[in-house]
Chains A and B, each alone.
Chain A
Amino acid sequence: MPEKYFAAIDLKTAGPFLALIALIVIGMLVNEAFLSTGNLSNILARSSFIGIVAIGATFVITAGGIDLSVGAMAAFISGCMILIMNSLMESIESSVTIILLAILASIGIGALAGLLNGLLTTKAKIEAFIVTLGTMGIYRSLITYMADGGTLSLNFTIGDIYSEVYYGTLLGLPYPVWVFLLVAVVGYILLNKTVFGRHCFAIGSNEQVALYSAIHVDRVKTMTYMLQGVCVSIATIIYVPRLGSASGQTGILWELEAIAAVIIGGTVLKGGYGRIWGTVVGALILTLIGNILNLTDAISNYLNGAVQGIIVIVAVYLQRGAWRKKKH
């Protein structure tokens, strides 16, 4: 039995990495342009938005929760940042100062939005699915209202300077990739090496046992939602300079892509087990699929969502299989 037991675990851990390698091989076969530096750094930069949001989602899901509001929250925070920057133009000279203030405000709003989700689930005892479905609707309509049904655009002077955050590079890699890496490393340490992370596992595994183990269940759960909010705001901070605008269409379906990345990475949807590196790989896989479909004529680019959907379902199916094997 022991040998089989370990084989099952290993396959489960390695699964997402194997899938990633397979996709890269497919990409290389499909088009030579796939391996070009430009394409690779594009893939990494694009996956960083969903990736950062998904790292926050890994905490929420590991602790047994779910957050559907992240896409709408990202759009709302984008809108707030643009409005703040545009309005500060009149009173503050330095564009850099304005951008820094907007970044601070963004993180504050993200944390507050997460706090709201957290308190509604823990104190008002409403299911997370319902709470975040509600706040999703609220943020989505707020951004539409703020943009008056159209698009909010960032002032060009600031936009020019801010765009460096998305387009600038360090050691050949775009800044967003570095931010992604940093968030992943911090997230990994937090989830796997600290008391907080252990408590997330315990709560997701059995809330009652967590309570009887002197864990501040409500506090830890609320903190996972706040962490998610901050992750959304970090993703937004590097996303706003990309287009310099926000509308009701910003961040559409991010919540589902983030959850998909988490699940592909091997985190258990019902909680109790989470993996940051898996999530990172999950986000890369999702972006790679879109990229490869762009580079080939074999399958229409419009089927991107379908392929992603199949990958998510297969990933969960494999997870289930591994669980069953463990039970004899």
Chain B
Amino acid sequence: MPEPNSHFPIITARQLHKSFGDVQVLQGIDLDIYGGEVLALLGENGAGKSTLVKLLAGFETLTAGQLELRDLDGSSHSLAADWTIEQAEKRGVVLIHQELNLAEQLNVADNIFLGNELKRGLLLDQKRMLQKSREYLQALNCEVDPSTLVAELAVSAKQLVEIAKAYAKQSRVLILDEPTAVLTNRESEALFILIEQLKQQGVAIVYISHKLDEIERIADRIVVLRDGEMIGTYPASTLSKDDMARLMVGRELSQLFPEIPRPPDSAEVVLELQDACVPGTIRHAEFQLRKGEVLGFSGLVGSGRTALMEAIVGLRRFSEATRLTVKGRQNRYPTLAAARDDGIGYLTKDRKGCGLLLNMSLPFNFSLLALDRFSRGLIDVQKEQAQFEAAVKTFDIRHKDDSLTAGKLSGGNQQKLLLAKIMAAEPDIIIIDEPTRGIDIGTRTEIYRFIAELAGNGHAIILVSSDMLEVIGLSHRVAVMCRGELTGILEGEAIEEHEIMRYATGLKSDLDKQKEPLCA
């Protein structure tokens, strides 16, 4: 798909405005998108990035402003009210969502041709679709068999299928909304190579991510948005990561990570796990957690960190040989309720799928985990409301009114609501899985402050995160997992990116290899 003239932008936007009701989401956005370049959109959650790309791809309609698309023959089209998803796709503008949109029960080829199936007479031409899909996938250096059922693919492969689908439609503008949020480092690497390749072919890439080092690496130009307004467009080479963060947040980014005093060695061990095994996922894990401590858990995606945490809180089953001791009592929790009643809180990494009821109100979500505390036979709605309002202040949950559903909150505020929900049960051991995934820097610092405060007043915290800087910046000790095994616990100087990676990839391990694994 060659672009005839890359001196002219494919998409030109002038003074875009978008409002929902009386809320201004975007105002005065100017944008030029050229073929053969990666344009990064940078901004905190709620800055308007997603709304902007939805406008470009026809998911939303403009309130005011000019949006023009230049066709391959050089003619310009004004995109107004009739700009729909179908229109956009036909003219080669494709948005790939964070939540992927594939038909799980169809195979890869069927998905690639979904909506423009190849036919022979009345019947589908399966053979040619498979053949063509194979060509597309090969062109993208992607080793996915087009006859595989999409449901059987890993998330990263699904994303490649989405890109292949866009490629098959000869897309000229490919918009990626946080594509690496669900990918491992290695998979992200493959994606960057693919992006480079598409760029060479003249495709315009619009890229949204919170990961500044990614943007530094692949972006040609950077557009910064803040509170729905355009801060500026910059050549990527002129901005350092610090500059980016400063432009996004609008203030100096002093000290992202608060200082958390290390608990004394005499501090009480509140949780101890020995000979842990979860059939099918966790082969071996042992660790201790002290009062006032932040114990980080690092590892690659799929290393079993979440499975281990879910087993601790009763959402999965440990083997019989596993010994879990909490506050001096040996215990394995049969249910999450039992763990909760023993003072353990678990903050899931799947905010939308497991954490919050998106179609329910904020107070409903807030009290759900600790509902018994608000009830003596009947629910005390006044007490519930009062505590909710207190939590809104404590956790700085920004919302217009209480009748709002949780799904209408921004990601950062959802995360704060989820934190408030867990804390309503007043746990003293808190397991936080990916506290800042897909969250802007402003909210991030707030969440780090909460964690520091909690540890400071004697809570014990387990912090599972794929964000290496976060783990290093907050943890007193870092446990590393690799393929279902806890391979090492790092302290002091050893807490450093390369050392963690060595344990995470299995190059290094403190486990006694002579010892028989406890379970398969």
Q: Using a CB–CB distance below 8 Å, which chain A residues touch chain B?
A: 1-2, 4-5, 189, 193-195, 198-199, 201-202, 205-206, 208-209, 211-216, 272, 328
Contacts and interface: CB of A to CB of B under 8 A. Distances in A.
Contacts of A202: 357, 360, 364, 368
Contact of B371 (A1, A5, A198, A212): A198
Interface in B297-348: 315, 335-337, 339-340, 346, 348
A201 B425 CA distance: 20
A209 B359 contact: no
B20 A194 contact: no
7 contacts: A1-B21, A1-B22, A189-B378, A194-B377, A208-B353, A212-B346, A214-B336
Contact of A211 (B315, B359, B377): B315
A97 B355 CA distance: 53
A211 B372 contact: no
B21 A211 contact: no
Given A194-B378, A214-B337, A215-B337, 13 more contacts: A1-B21, A4-B21, A189-B378, A195-B371, A198-B364, A202-B357, A202-B360, A202-B364, A209-B354, A214-B339, A216-B337, A272-B357, A328-B20
Contact of B340 (A189, A195, A209, A214): A214
B379 A205 contact: no
B269 interface: no
A1 B379 contact: no
Interface of B: 20-23, 315, 335-337, 339-340, 346, 348, 353-360, 364, 368-369, 371-372, 375, 377-379, 401, 403, 421, 425
A4 B22 CA distance: 12
Given A189-B378, A193-B378, A213 B368 contact: yes
A122 B356 CA distance: 22
B23 A1 contact: yes
Contacts of B337: 214-216
A155 B122 CA distance: 68
Nearest to B367: A198
Given A194-B377, A214-B336, A214-B340, A201 B21 contact: no
B336 A212 contact: yes
Nearest to A190: B378
Contacts of B336: 211-214
A9 B220 CA distance: 48
Nearest to A323: B359
A194 B375 contact: yes
A4 B21 CA distance: 10
Contacts of B339: 214
Contacts of B377: 194
B368 A198 contact: yes
Given A1-B20, A201-B360, A206-B357, A212 B375 contact: no
A211 B313 CA distance: 12
Contacts of B22: 1
A195 B348 contact: no
Nearest to A212: B354
A211 B375 contact: no
The 5 closest A-B pairs by CB, nearest first: A1-B21, A214-B337, A214-B336, A212-B354, A213-B368
B128 to A, nearest CB: 38
Contacts of B360: 201-202, 205, 272
A206 B421 CA distance: 16
A328 B61 CA distance: 12
A201 B360 CA distance: 9
B228 to A, nearest CB: 16
A176 B422 CA distance: 46
Contacts of A213: 336, 368-369, 421
A314 B21 CA distance: 29
A206 B352 CA distance: 10
A1 B20 CA distance: 8
Contacts of B379: 193-195, 198
A201 B367 CA distance: 13
A202 B369 CA distance: 11
Contacts of A194: 375, 377-379
Contacts of A199: 371
A272 B359 contact: yes
A60 B315 CA distance: 25
A167 to B, nearest CB: 36
A194 B335 CA distance: 21
A216 B372 CA distance: 13
B367 to A, nearest CB: 8
A2 B315 CA distance: 39
Contacts of A328: 20
A201 B357 CA distance: 10
Given A194-B379, A195-B375, A216 B359 contact: no
